A and B are shown apart, each in its own frame.
Chain A
Amino acid sequence: MLSHSEASENFIADAERTDWHDETLWFVRAKRDKASKVLPEWEAMREHASQIKDHTLANLGEYLQAFESKAIANGIHVHWAADAAEHNAIVHGIIAAQGSKTIVKSKSMLTEECHLNDYLASKGIEVVDTDLGERIVQFRNEAPSHIVLPAIHLKKEDVGETFHQHLGTPKGNKDPQFLTEAARQHLRGHFLASEVAITGVNFAVAETGEFVVCTNEGNADMGAHLAKVHIACTGIEKIIPKRADLAVFLRLLARSATGQLITTYSSHFHKPREGQEMHIVLLDNGRTRQLADPKYKNSLKCIRCAACFNTCPVYRRSGGHSYHQPVAGPIGSILAPNIDKKANADLPFASTLCGSCSNVCPVKINIHEQLWFWRQDLMEAGLAPAGKTIGMKLMAFTLANPVIYRVGGSLLRRFSHLLNTRLNPWYKQREMPVAPKESFQEWYKKR
C-alpha cells in the first residue's frame, strides 16, 4: 500500500487533472460558503449542533437504550454489532434467511468501513450500489474517493468509458444526461427485482425510534419501498435526542455538504409497512474506545457532510484514494488511526494544520487539533518513519542549547549550498533560501 505522500505524488503527476479536481471541489466549497453566509444564525447554529452532539455523546448509553426500546415498539428489529465482523455476520444472517442473492444498497460509508460488499460477495451475494457515484466506482472496482461525491475523481469521459464497458452505452458518449439515464434504466431493474434493501442512516432519533436517510437521488427510498426487507446500518454515534433536533442538523448537513438549502430526500423511517421487515444494525467498531478518550471523543460528532474534504487544500490536490481509507480527508485522518494506528500513521501528517477543516465543520469538531494530538500519539507509539526519531532528537538537542545552535546555524549557512541536491526534497522543485553572511544575532552583537 502506498503512503499518502507517495499516492499524492502519483496523483499530482497529472497536473491538469489535479487542477480540475481542485477546482471542482473548490466550487463545492464556494457553494457551501454562499449557502452558509445567507443565514445570519449560521455560527449560532453550528454551536447549537455541537452542543446537542456533546450532550448526546455524554449520555450516549441512555439515548441508545431509549432508541432501542422505541424502535422495537415500532416493530423494528434492533441488532448490536461490536465490530465489523459482527456487523457483516448480522447483515448476512438477515439476507440468508430471505434466501436472496441480489441486494440493492444506497450509500453507506459504514458498510464501506466494514467492507460489507466484499464479505457478502464471498458468500455468493451480489450487492448493487444504487447511488450513481457509488455504482460508477463499483463498476470500476474502486473505492469511493469522497463520502458525499464518491466518483468525484472521475471525469465524464471516464464515466462514459466505464458505462460503455459495463452497460453497453455507445463508445465515446460522455453526455451526462444520457449516461445518467442509462444508469437509471439499469438500476430500475435491480430495484424491482431486489428483495432486500440496505441503507445507511444519517440520524437515528432516540425520542421516536425513527431513523432518517438523506439522499439526493431518492435511491434509498426506491430500494427500501420496494424490498420486502429493509436493513439500515448505522454507527452508534448517529443518535440524536429529539426529532426537533433535525431542524438544526438537516439544515447544516445540506448546506455544508453541497451548498444545497435542503437535501432532495430526507426520508424518515419510523416503522415497517405492512408485510415488510425492518432491521437496524448499530455498530461500535472502535467508537466507544474513541468516546473514552477526551482528546478524540468529539470526532464522533461528525455528520459526514464532507465539508472538511472540500475545503482541505491537501485533499483537493491529492484525491481521496491517497488516504487509503473508506473515509478520506481531514475527518478520515483523525478517525482511521483509532481503527489501526500502524496502517494509518501517515494520515495525521497529510495536513498543513491550516485549520480550515475545523472552521467549516458544522458540528465544530477541532479536526486540526486532533490531527496534532494523533501525531503525538503515533510517534509515542514508535510509528515514526526510519530516521525521523533520531533527526528530531538531534534537532531538539541543538535547539535547546544556544551555543550548539549558534555553531550549527553558522555551519548550516556556510555549507547550505551542499543541500542543493536532488536528495533534498525541498530542492526538488524549490530553491534553498540564500544564506546571509551574518545571522541576526551576529549582526545585533555588533550593533
Chain B
Amino acid sequence: MRVALFVPCYIDQFYPQVAVASLELLEKLGCEVVVPTDQTCCGQPMANSGFASSTVGCDANFTHNFEGFDYIVGPSGSCVLHLKEHHPSEKIRNSVYEICEFLTDVLRITTLSAKFPHRVGLHQSCHGQRGLHLSSMSERNEKPFSKLQDLLSLVNGVEVVMPAREDECCGFGGTFCVTEEAVSVKMGQDRIKEHDANDVEYITGADTSCLMHMEGILRRQGSKVQVKHIVEILNHA
C-alpha cells in the first residue's frame, strides 16, 4: 500500500523522532512510504487563531504535495482533524488519516513486534478523541472503546494506566497555550498530577502538541516522567 507521510511542521523541527518512528512503523507493516519533501504545515495554527482566511498559500502547498495520494497519514490527531474539517480539497479531506486510525481501520493490524516494558499513562488528546473519535468519550452515553488502548495492548510488556479524569484536556490548545498562559499551564499541571498519582514512567498520546506542553511543565518541575508519542512505543523494539 502506497502511503504519503504527513509530518506536521513542529514535529519536523522539534520532534523528528516521532516522524522517524512513524516512517519505520509504516514500513515495517508493509507500506510503501513516500515523504513529500516540500510539505510544511496543515494551516491549523492560523485557522484556530481566527486567520483561516490566511491559509490559502499553506493549503495550496499541502495540496501540491499530497494530492496524488489515496492515503495521507500523519502522527497528529489535531493537524489531521484540521485537514479533514477545513482543507479546501475534497480529495485531501477524504484521504487524510491520523496514524492510529490508519493502523486500526485501514491496515487493521492485530499483531506488532514491539516491546516497551514500562508503566505508561495515556493522554487522550481532544481532537483525536472527540474530533476523530479515536476512543469513546466520557461525556457520551456510548459503548467504551479506544483505538489507542487496543494498539498499545499489542505491545509486549507495556502497562497502560488512565488518569482519574480520563479525557480532560491538557490545556495546550494551539496559541491558547501562550494567549491564556495561566489557564493553559494550570490545566497541564493538573493532568500531570493525575499521572503522577498513578506513578507512571511515561505519558503517551497521539498528539505531540499535548505532549510537548506537558513535557515543558514536567521538565520545569524537574520530574523524571518522560513523554513519548504512541508511535514511538508501537515502533519500540
Tell whether A402 pairs with B180 under 8 Å between CB atoms, given A435-B14, A436-B16. Answer: no
Indicate the size class of the contact surface on chain B.
35 or more
Chain B's nearest CB lies how many Å from the CB of A310? 11
Alpha-carbon separation in the docked complex, A69 to B113 (Å): 73
Contacts of A314 in B (CB 8 A): 180, 183, 187
CB <8 Å contact, A311 and B139: yes
* 6 nearest A-B residue pairs (beta carbon): A400-B57, A352-B173, A430-B216, A379-B50, A375-B50, A359-B139
Alpha-carbon separation in the docked complex, A135 to B235 (Å): 59
CB <8 Å contact, A12 and B183: yes
Indicate the size class of the contact surface on chain A.
35 or more
Interface centre among B53, B174, B176, B212 (most CB of A within 10 A): B176
CB <8 Å contact, A413 and B13: yes
Interface residues of B (CB under 8 A from A): 7, 9, 11-17, 19-20, 23, 35, 37-41, 43, 45-58, 60-61, 126-127, 130-131, 137-142, 165, 167-169, 171-174, 176-188, 190, 212-213, 215-217, 219-220
* A380-433 interface (Cβ within 8 A of B): 380, 384, 388-389, 392-393, 395-397, 399-402, 405, 409, 412-413, 424-426, 428-433
A376: which of B39, B52, B174 is its contact (CB, 8 Å)?
Answer: B52
Contacts of A87 in B (CB 8 A): none
CB <8 Å contact, A396 and B141: no
Chain A's nearest CB lies how many Å from the CB of B135? 13
CB <8 Å contact, A313 and B141: no
Could you list 11 further interchain pairs (A-B, Cβ under 8 angstroms) beyond the known A8-B180, A317-B190, A401-B57?
A350-B180, A353-B174, A356-B167, A372-B47, A402-B37, A413-B14, A431-B219, A439-B16, A440-B11, A441-B37, A444-B37
CB <8 Å contact, B217 and A354: no
CB <8 Å contact, B14 and A436: yes
Alpha-carbon separation in the docked complex, A311 to B39 (Å): 37
B55: which of A358, A359, A396 is its contact (CB, 8 Å)?
Answer: A396
Interface residues of A (CB under 8 A from B): 4-5, 8-9, 12, 15, 18-19, 22, 26, 33, 36-37, 39-40, 42-43, 311, 313-314, 317-318, 348-356, 358-360, 372, 375-376, 378-380, 384, 388-389, 392-393, 395-397, 399-402, 405, 409, 412-413, 424-426, 428-436, 438-441, 443-445
Contacts of B165 in A (CB 8 A): 26
CB <8 Å contact, A433 and B139: no
CB <8 Å contact, A359 and B51: no
CB <8 Å contact, B173 and A43: no
Contacts of B13 in A (CB 8 A): 409, 412-413, 435, 439
CB <8 Å contact, B217 and A376: no
Contacts of B130 in A (CB 8 A): 354-356, 358-359
Interface centre among B11, B14, B183 (most CB of A within 10 A): B183
Chain B's closest residue to A400 (CB) is B57
CB <8 Å contact, B177 and A426: yes
CB <8 Å contact, A430 and B52: no
Tell whether A392 pairs with B51 under 8 Å between CB atoms, given A12-B183, A313-B171, A349-B180. Answer: yes
Tell whether A430 pairs with B185 under 8 Å between CB atoms, given A354-B169, A392-B51, A412-B13. Answer: yes
Chain A's closest residue to B61 (CB) is A400
CB <8 Å contact, A429 and B39: no
Chain B's nearest CB lies how many Å from the CB of A422? 11
Q: 11 A-B residue contacts at CB 8 Å?
A: A4-B180, A19-B190, A314-B187, A317-B187, A353-B48, A353-B127, A388-B49, A389-B51, A409-B12, A426-B177, A441-B37
Alpha-carbon separation in the docked complex, A376 to B138 (Å): 29
CB <8 Å contact, B176 and A313: no
CB <8 Å contact, B49 and A5: no
Alpha-carbon separation in the docked complex, A310 to B46 (Å): 29
